[in-house]
Amino acid sequence: EVQLVESGGGLVKPGGSLRLSCATSGFIFTSYNMNWVRQAPGKGLEWVSSISSSSAYIYYADSVKGRFTISRDNAKNSLYLQMDSLGAEDTAVYFCVKYAGGAVPGSGDVYFDHWGQGTLVTVSS
């Protein structure tokens, strides 16, 4: 059974930093592109960032480019999101999301097949 377990959320002051982690199991982590998707309270889903299986290809939404850094540790089957220069607009539940199609986006079945439960990030003074 695929499991994605996020951690690291919490309350942070504007301008601060936070690092999210996603521990995975139940699939061959080294074979799949992984993503972060967020959802502000009462709002819709927003794709944040994507990283290919080998970390060779990394993509960001314009709203976080230059402030967030996605990374992965294939030895630990873990995904990370380093968030810097946080603002109130970054307050959201952050979901760790597995890509169905394989190593890079656009390959194989093009969709998100497994989601974690999410971790809440609150940016407030």
Partner 1 sequence: QTVVTQEPSFSVSPGGTVTLTCGLRSGSVSTNYYPSWYQQTPGQPPRTLVYSTDSRSSGVPDRFSGSILGNKAALTITGAQADDECDYYCVLYMGGGIWVFGGGTKLTVL
Helix %, strand %, coil % of the chain (to 5)? 5, 50, 45
Q: How many residues bind partner 1 (CB under 8 A)?
A: 26
Phi, psi of 95 (to 5 degrees): -105, 135
Q: Does 120 bind partner 1 (CB under 8 A)?
A: no
Residues 5-34 that bind partner 1 (CB under 8 A): none
Question: Considering only CA atoms, which of 58, 51, 47, 1 is closest in space to residue 24?
Answer: 1
Q: Does 113 bind partner 1 (CB under 8 A)?
A: yes
Residue 55 beta carbon to partner 1: minimum distance, rounded to whole angstroms: 13
Binding site for partner 1 (CB under 8 A): 35, 37, 44-47, 50, 57-59, 61-62, 95, 100, 104-106, 109-113, 115-118
